[in-house]
Structure 1
Amino acid sequence: MKQRVVVVRRMDEDHLARLRQLFHVNYFDTLGRDNQQDYIRAMRSAHGLIGGKLVINREILDEAPHLKVISTISVGYDNLPLDELTRRGILLCNTPDVLTETTADTGFALIMSTARRVVELADLVKLGNWVGHIDKPLYGRDVHGKVLGIIGMGRIGAAVARRGALGFGMRVLYSNSSPKPALEKELGALRCDMDELLAQSDFVCITVPLTAETHHMIGAAAFLKMKPSSILINIARGKVVDEAALIAALNEGQLGGAGLDVFEEEPVSAESPLLQMPNVVALPHIGSATHETRAAMAKLAVENLILALQGKSPRNAVNEQVLLAK
């Protein structure tokens, strides 16, 4: 008898076809109030769940007694109750590695666009307001040769650091729970405490996961330690930054600008003061949003799900202790 899989959010037909060859598939290309009960009914007989932007709580898990594996089409899983999944023996898989370089591209695009005021000046041209020589009030800042501070030197942080050090001759500082001697040798990176990183960096790029410890780790106290000319880049999770404190720091001239791909609440409100600030570049959480990368993420998530439901070890198990227990 075929096992049952629930697919949430849009998925390419080739990936769906592969799943349908092996499993009974219930497909929800969107999820909302109108089909919530259908989703819960599907979960009652589901052995696997796969999709992007998954939100699972204890109530839904209580309705899913046969669930063996959740395969999220993402690296982050802060929206999923990992401890509860592990307690219930449900394996969680994610998709690291395949989005590292693309997300780092996004981070560096934010560095460049904030420093050189790309969005602001492109709008000036499009609106027909380029009427003469660009003078000092519209000058940007150099990126090459500046100090790049990386908070969280994981895969993505390291990829951003490589772009800065090898491509732009930037001096790299990093704050991380453990040293990275290979990266220090490769890039000349220096591990330092957070206060030193904030004080010395011209660009501060956040790439840490969202946890109880990192929630609002960058707030009013941090902004006071940064240079008034420095630029904050966030490609991690919105709640790592205290957004109200960021708005206040920008209003008071404590920062030179911010490049944000993530926000505390998403989609960000059209009324947010951040969207009215010319020195803020705001993107709609597109870190991995390229055709190639999203396809690779979906493919990896499908592979993880299939392997797990076949009783094999998937490439990317978050709570590996579930595998060991079995």
Structure 2
Amino acid sequence: MTYQIVASTTVSPDGIALFDQKNYHIDYGEQPKKDTAGLLIRSVDLHQTPLPDDLITIGRAGVGVNNIPLAEAAAKGIVVFNAPGANANGVKELVFAALTIGARPMLAGSKWVSNLKGDDIGVQVEKGKKAYVGTELLGKKLGVIGLGHVGGLVANGASSQAFGMHVVGYDPYIAVDTAWHLSHHIKHAADLKGVLEDSDYVTIHVPLTSETKEMLNADAIAMMKPGSVLLNFARDDVIDEDAIIAALDRGHLRRYITDFASPKLIHHPKVTVFPHIGGSTTAAETNSAKMVVQTMKNYLETGNIRNSVTFPDTDMQFASPLRLTLIHKNVPNMVGKMTGVLSNYELNIVNMMNRSQGDYAYTMIDLDQIDPKRLQKIAAKMAQIDDVIRVRVLSH
């Protein structure tokens, strides 16, 4: 079987190249076409784009998926993949650059030097450099909110000998695997106040959810140490922009450094804004593309799901000749209805797995070899079950 893939030209070619020519046909564009099985994108906004019924999967070669209508995709049985952690090192390095900028007025000093005129530049520099005296990061306290892919790297790096900062982290949802990789030098705060109140620098690394929206609001900022520096390389809406500006204006915050531009921020004298370049390195773009293509291929060819934002991770060894996959609503007795159909055909189930996430669930059923026409009839019967959204037949 040959799968039709539409890939954006902004996606790294090294990732697209993983779609082998034997099983995949690649068209370039940013809109799904008829018979498109997979859509591979970076930043194109799909919220106004009709998602065809034939579309099986969408791959986002990056982390954020706010450009994809996730609810619509899930309702149509479209599995959306992203690439968590693939750009984490690129973001981490930019955060460290931002920390240094927050400690020393390097950008202002560089701008001043570039405007000097005359033959005595060296003399002018020596006389004027006192205006650009900064501080050092060594021994300062860094608060890290969110200890996932990026936050964990930032926390570990800042607490290392290279930077020598005292690090306190806060993450009520930290995964066990992530916790194992955190340095023992990092102290853990029990709540948001514990990470804000004594930190000289605070950096936030959380996804945008209903719980994290404007997480750093006026009340949270009031807990921060006077004269501290706030960094945001997560999402623009995790902070209350008006509260940040008010805190800067009254001197409670010394500086705000972010990767997210807005009209209110870009001309403020105490704000440094980057053009959303946290993951904009060639390595990060290549890693993201490769990761998401591999997960798309794995799903299309085996039905296994990993790193999806619409359906649960479901991974089962594909050792039998045939596999049925079913995307369905997460309602009672769905598995019973599926096995009931199979029992009517007197089929042996070799292996089976069911996983649920919110309103939806995913089931994989491995079967012994049977006549293809008979299998298609079974798949059609499965599709007629109430609350079943998509049925696929895969051969091994």
Tell me which interval the TM-score lies in, with the shorter structure as reference length: 0.7 to 0.9
Q: Give SS of 1:92's match.
A: strand
2:16–2:289 CA contact under 8 A, matched in 1? no
- In the alignment, what sits opposite 1:294? 285
Q: Which of 134, 142, 145 is the matching residue for 1:148?
A: 142
Instruction: State TM-score, norm by structure 2.
Output: 0.70
Q: Give SS of 1:262's match.
A: coil
Q: Which of 195, 206, 215 is the matching residue for 2:204?
A: 206
Which structure has greater strand proportion?
2
- In the alignment, what sits opposite 2:317? none
1:128 matched to 2:116? yes
1:244 matched to 2:242? yes
Determine the C-alpha separation between the residues in 2 that align with 1:314 and 1:187.
Answer: 35
Determine the C-alpha separation between the residues in 2 that align with 1:11 and 1:253.
Answer: 43
Distance 1:14 1:260, change over 3 A: closer
Distance apart, 1:230 and its partner CA:
0.4
Distance 1:219 1:313, change over 3 A: same
Determine the C-alpha separation between the residues in 1 that align with 2:57 and 2:248.
Answer: 44
Distance apart, 1:206 and its partner CA:
0.6
2:305–2:312 CA contact under 8 A, matched in 1? no
Distance 1:274 1:58, change over 3 A: closer
The unaligned stretches of length 5 or more in structure 2 are 118-123, 314-326, 328-354, 356-361, 365-396
- In the alignment, what sits opposite 1:26? 27
RMSD: 2.5
Q: Which of 66, 78, 86 is the matching residue for 2:74?
A: 86
The unaligned stretches of length 5 or more in structure 1 are 32-38
Determine the C-alpha separation between the residues in 1 that align with 2:268 and 2:61.
Answer: 33
- In the alignment, what sits opposite 2:3? 3
Determine the C-alpha separation between the residues in 2 that align with 1:136 and 1:17.
Answer: 53
Distance apart, 1:190 and its partner CA:
2.3
Distance 1:66 1:97, change over 3 A: same
Distance apart, 1:12 and its partner CA:
4.0
- In the alignment, what sits opposite 2:381? none
Q: Give SS of 1:274's match.
A: coil
Q: Which moved more, 1:247-256 or 1:156-165?
A: 247-256
- In the alignment, what sits opposite 1:75? 63
1:325 matched to 2:323? no
Q: Deviations over 1:174-195 (max 9, x none)?
A: 2211467546662232223112
1:223-262 alignment runs, 5 A limit: 223-262=221-260
1:158-307 alignment runs, 5 A limit: 158-166=152-160, 167-178=162-173, 182=180, 186-263=184-261, 268=262, 272-307=263-298
Q: Give SS of 1:246's match.
A: helix
Q: Which moved more, 1:175-184 or 1:283-292?
A: 175-184
Determine the C-alpha separation between the residues in 2 that align with 1:109 and 1:312.
Answer: 41
Which structure has greater helix proportion?
1
Distance 1:195 1:7, change over 3 A: same
Which residue identity is paired with 1:82? L
1:55–1:80 CA contact under 8 A, matched in 2? yes
Q: Which moved more, 1:165-174 or 1:151-160?
A: 165-174
2:11–2:42 CA contact under 8 A, matched in 1? no
- In the alignment, what sits opposite 1:36? none
Percent of aligned pairs sharing the same letter: 30
2:16–2:290 CA contact under 8 A, matched in 1? no
Q: Give SS of 1:109's match.
A: helix
Instruction: State TM-score, norm by structure 1.
Output: 0.84
Determine the C-alpha separation between the residues in 2 that align with 1:136 and 1:277.
Answer: 23
Determine the C-alpha separation between the residues in 2 that align with 1:212 and 1:301.
Answer: 26
- In the alignment, what sits opposite 1:112? 100
2:83–2:291 CA contact under 8 A, matched in 1? yes
The structure number with the bigger radius of gyration is 2
Q: Deviations over 1:37-64 (max 9, x none)?
A: xx3xx43421111111243338623xx1
Distance apart, 1:24 and its partner CA:
3.0
Distance apart, 1:27 and its partner CA:
1.2
Distance apart, 1:114 and its partner CA:
1.8
Q: Give SS of 2:50's match.
A: helix
